[in-house]
Chain A
């Protein structure tokens, strides 16, 4: 190797270790670090107990069981004992029924235990009222824990994560494509809030009838009638259990076919692109992402530990399920409206340069 060629990180480490006392000096440096930060405890817990991805998968699975406990008995088959136990869990968490949840959870899901706040914003807004509780959830949760609920609890996010476990090779869309497609969720958010406000205002004034007739099914909840999460957790179970017959509130219209095709496209893309719905279409994630820029919970990148800016392993970028180019972000606090706080980049960073902070 000539002197001009750049050395690999592994080779640099071997050279450093050959220097006298380097290991001893390194251990001294390690000991002088402030140990009692949040990042230290999180990293220690995950390093010593379970990998972050496994922990997240378990949390997602438990959340899924709690949110769709009756749906699980439906899949497993009717079992009085299991149904009683799961219904008991439902009794233990009645709060879910009263407080909107900070992620995309459809109303009317097969005996689901809660409703997402965005559904409530649409339903209460279009009933001519102001959604105070939903606004409270929208502001409190992302400020306290950023978009952690998207990464750790959201049932449709979990479904997409399951799709990405298939052996099909993961594809990474170009930065420009990702950015352009990412704008779709903001368009959906603006249109939905506009329709909810418009219908709500007309309802409040008592002149809504013509507008409701013109909008048809979109007048009740604009996004909910297209939401693939709703299709997956509401339509599919009813179709399955009733062998293709839909309950009267729903019907085999062209809109239903559009819903099913939209869901099929999302699931198909999720097989080789991680979390496509969250990245490009989810208006819930869009609004949570906007508020989360002020969050106390953050992820930050340290210049000195990021191999002095010369790390080119791209592990953090490849680990990110929503395609954030972590290396492209400035040092210090990393903010992206798409970050779902999955902490995969923290776990995968070989230099321990990405840290969790609460400030």
Chain B
């Protein structure tokens, strides 16, 4: 199959997955993981987080 056809198909699948992930709030989960580790290590790294 043509490379461009596969590329556009994969791009559409990717955009759909990203949009669906954002719609169900999975980005908040990503942020919470980062925040969880930031909080866990905060006493051992004394400078303020953003």
> Which of A100, A112, A113, A249 contacts B30, CB < 8 Å?
A100
- A98 and B27 in contact, given A110-B45, A114-B34 (Cβ under 8 angstroms): yes
List the B side residues contacting A113 at CB < 8 Å. Answer: 50
A303 within 8 Å of B (CB atoms): no
Give the residue name and chain of the B residue nearest to A108 (CB). B37
Please choose the segment from A138-146, A187-195, A210-218, A340-348 that sits at the chain B interface, where 4 or more of its residues have CB less than 8 A away.
A138-146
List the B side residues contacting A70 at CB < 8 Å. Answer: 45, 47, 49
Interface of A is mostly: helix
List the B side residues contacting A114 at CB < 8 Å. Answer: 34
B window 1-50: CB within 8 A of A: 3-4, 6-7, 10-11, 13-22, 24, 26-31, 33-35, 37-38, 40-41, 43-50
**A241-255 interface code vs B (CB 8 A; 1 in, 0 out):** 110000111000000
A355 within 8 Å of B (CB atoms): no
A window 235-283: CB within 8 A of B: 237-238, 241-242, 247-249
The answer to whether B33 and A136 touch across the interface, beta carbons within 8 angstroms, is no
- Please, how many angstroms separate the alpha-carbon atoms of A131 and B29 in the complex? 10
Give the residue name and chain of the B residue nearest to A92 (CB). B50
List the B side residues contacting A108 at CB < 8 Å. Answer: 37-38, 40-41
The answer to whether B20 and A132 touch across the interface, beta carbons within 8 angstroms, is yes
- A139 and B10 in contact, given A115-B30, A132-B21, A133-B26 (Cβ under 8 angstroms): yes
A226 within 8 Å of B (CB atoms): no
Give the residue name and chain of the B residue nearest to A138 (CB). B14
> Which of A97, A133, A296 contacts B21, CB < 8 Å?
A133
**B34 smallest CB distance to A (angstroms):** 5
**A196 smallest CB distance to B (angstroms):** 14
Give the residue name and chain of the A residue nearest to B38 (CB). A111
List the A side residues contacting B7 at CB < 8 Å. Answer: 143, 294-296
- A143 and B11 in contact, given A87-B50, A135-B17 (Cβ under 8 angstroms): yes
The answer to whether B11 and A73 touch across the interface, beta carbons within 8 angstroms, is no
A90 within 8 Å of B (CB atoms): yes
The answer to whether B50 and A90 touch across the interface, beta carbons within 8 angstroms, is yes
The answer to whether A294 and B17 touch across the interface, beta carbons within 8 angstroms, is no
- Please, how many angstroms separate the alpha-carbon atoms of A164 and B21 in the complex? 39
The answer to whether A294 and B3 touch across the interface, beta carbons within 8 angstroms, is yes
Give the residue name and chain of the A residue nearest to B16 (CB). A136
The answer to whether B30 and A133 touch across the interface, beta carbons within 8 angstroms, is yes
- Please, how many angstroms separate the alpha-carbon atoms of A250 and B13 in the complex? 38
List the A side residues contacting B17 at CB < 8 Å. Answer: 132-133, 135-136, 139
List the B side residues contacting A133 at CB < 8 Å. Answer: 17-18, 21-22, 26-27, 30
The answer to whether B34 and A247 touch across the interface, beta carbons within 8 angstroms, is no
> Which of B24, B38, B48 contacts A87, CB < 8 Å?
B48
The answer to whether B33 and A107 touch across the interface, beta carbons within 8 angstroms, is yes
List the B side residues contacting A94 at CB < 8 Å. Answer: 50
List the A side residues contacting B47 at CB < 8 Å. Answer: 70, 73-74, 78, 83, 111
A99 within 8 Å of B (CB atoms): yes
- Please, how many angstroms separate the alpha-carbon atoms of A131 and B14 in the complex? 12
- Please, how many angstroms separate the alpha-carbon atoms of A112 and B4 in the complex? 36
**A110-154 interface code vs B (CB 8 A; 1 in, 0 out):** 111111000010011000010111111111100110000000000
- Please, how many angstroms separate the alpha-carbon atoms of A232 and B16 in the complex? 34
- A238 and B45 in contact, given A87-B50, A97-B30, A294-B7 (Cβ under 8 angstroms): yes
The answer to whether A136 and B21 touch across the interface, beta carbons within 8 angstroms, is yes
List the A side residues contacting B49 at CB < 8 Å. Answer: 70, 111
The answer to whether A137 and B18 touch across the interface, beta carbons within 8 angstroms, is yes
List the A side residues contacting B29 at CB < 8 Å. Answer: 124, 129
Additional 9 contacts, C-beta under 8 A, given A90-B50, A115-B30, A136-B21: A70-B47, A99-B27, A110-B41, A111-B38, A115-B33, A133-B27, A139-B11, A139-B14, A291-B10
